[in-house]
Amino acid sequence: MKKCLSFLAVFVLAFSSFSFSVKAAAFADLSENHRFYKEMSFLENKGIISGYPDDTFRPDGEVTRAAAAIMIGRALGLNGVQRATKFSDVGADQKASGYIASAVERGIISGFQDGKYHPNEFVTRGQMAIFLSRAFKLTEEAAAPFSDVSSSMTIYPHVKRIIAENLTSGYEDNTFRPNVKVTRAQFSAFLARALDDKFKVELPVQLTYLKNKNKIYHYQSDEMGNLYYKFSGKKYFEWDLWDVYVKNKKAYSIVEKENSQGYYFGYPESESWQLLKYPVKVGQSWSVGYQGYEHTYKITSTTMTITTPAGTFRNVIEVTADDGGTDYYAPNVGLIKVSFEGITKIQLTKIVN
């Protein structure tokens, strides 16, 4: 298993070096009914976070960059002795100075172009992804299914890493909301997940790589010419049954299905194969076929941009086989291209509603 997380600013005694021995339940504004009660209690009992002098925890309070540095520093056991830093706005007299200096030395956090750290600025979810990714040295990446996170954003690889680490599942509307400020409760949840596997979340709802049954998919094949796939309106057991038309005549049928393990393709009353293995992440590999006739497939990219006559598709999954073939799958579209040793064999030409 793996580990991960992130940072923020000084809350007076909120993150003091003095740790409470009281359980989180002792706080006047925190009950066991809170969504992240267990995570906050876990960190409080480890002395990573603490409450305020008025016996409150303030779970909805926003976390600053200074407080984040303190929390991450304590979680990683960094040197928190107050000292001078490279930032003009963080002096040795500031509570977070030692942790900020240590986090900078570790490459976990950095300042701004004005030479300052901005310790009292609030941390956003996007910044948090960067802090967690760096703090726990995450390298494995999963597909980022969020509509508000693109490959052009600095946070992109870091969001993919915290997804792969099961630190986030995003929101139900398929967004990550990178500019939303992080609360003490939310930060506690992310940090607890990075420190202990029992707090980790399920992966985000998997983007589908099935074809949309309400649309007709036209392809160009170097062997069969132009053909199109149209959903039959029927099921073949648990499979979706699609009819394939060549020269406007039904030529044969195919079946496909998707579950938590992956995407599968086959023919009625015949063979089927797993063509994608979930979760979708670079390095994911699997075998297809029978003993002595097996091929190994491997996901080699989750961020391809591929253009076919049907348009330009982003966040395309590239699957490379050991026989020289490569398949490309676009989220919520399905197969868009097949090549062999660099030569295009099949490509999507249009999708008709």
289 burial via Cβ count (<10 Å: 0-12, 13-18, 19+): exposed
Please name the residues in contact with 126: beta carbons below 8 A apart, sequence gap of 6 or more.
153, 155, 159, 176, 178, 179
End residue of a domain, out of 169, 199, 229: 199
Residue 343 lies in a domain: yes
- Spatial contact of 64 and 11, defined as CB atoms under 8 Å apart: yes
Contacts of 186 (CB under 8 A, 6+ apart): 36
pLDDT over 80 (residue 26): no
- Do 149 and 274 fall into the same domain? no
Task: Label residue 1 by pLDDT band (50, 70, 90).
Answer: very low
Same domain, yes or no: 157 and 269: no
In a domain, 225, yes or no: yes
Helix (H) or strand (E) holding 39: helix 37-45
Specify the number of domains making up the chain. Answer: 2
Same domain, residue pair 62 and 181: yes
Q: Confidence band (pLDDT; 50, 70, 90) for 332?
A: confident
Question: Would you say how long the chain is, in residues?
Answer: 353
Instruction: Please choose, from the candidates 127, 122, 123, 79, the residue with its C-alpha nearest in 3D space to the C-alpha of residue 104.
Output: 79
Question: Does residue 160 sit in the same domain as residue 75?
Answer: yes
Q: Are residues 184 and 51 in the same domain?
A: yes
Q: Which residue range(s) make up the domain with 84?
A: 24-199
Pull the structure tokens for residue 275: 């063509």
**Is residue 11 in some structural domain?**
no
Question: What's 67's DSSP letter?
Answer: H
**Per-residue pLDDT tens digits for 167-204:** 988 887 778 999 999 999 999 999 999 999 999 987 54
Of the three residues 168, 199, 230, the one that is the final residue of a domain is 199
Q: Could you tell me the pTM of the whole model? A: 0.58
pLDDT of residue 126: 95
Q: Same domain, yes or no, for 44 and 190?
A: yes
Q: Is residue 205 part of a domain?
A: no
Nearest-angstrom CA–CA distance, 345 and 325: 10
Question: What are residue 142's DSSP bridge partners?
Answer: 281
How far apart (Å, rounded) are the C-alpha atoms in residues 110 and 96? 14
Q: Are residues 77 and 147 in the same domain?
A: yes
Q: Summarize pLDDT for 241-300 with one digit per residue, the tens.
A: 999 999 999 999 999 999 878 899 999 988 899 999 988 888 999 998 776 678 899 999
Q: Are residues 179 and 64 in the same domain?
A: yes
- Do residues 311 and 238 both lie within one domain? yes
Q: Are residues 65 and 157 in the same domain?
A: yes
If phi > 0 it is left, if psi is from -120 to 50 it is alpha, else beta; for residue 30 that is: beta
Per-residue pLDDT at 291: 66
**pLDDT value, residue 208:** 86
Structural domain includes residue 19: no
List, in order, residues 6 or more apart from 110 with CB less than 8 Å away. 104
For residue 154, being part of any structural domain is answered with yes
Q: How far is CA 253 from the centre of its chain?
A: 35
Same domain, 52 and 169: yes
Domain stops at, among 174, 199, 224: 199
Percent of the chain with pLDDT over 70: 91
Residue 208 in domain: no
Do 175 and 315 fall into the same domain?
Answer: no
If you average pLDDT over every residue of the chain, what do you get? 87
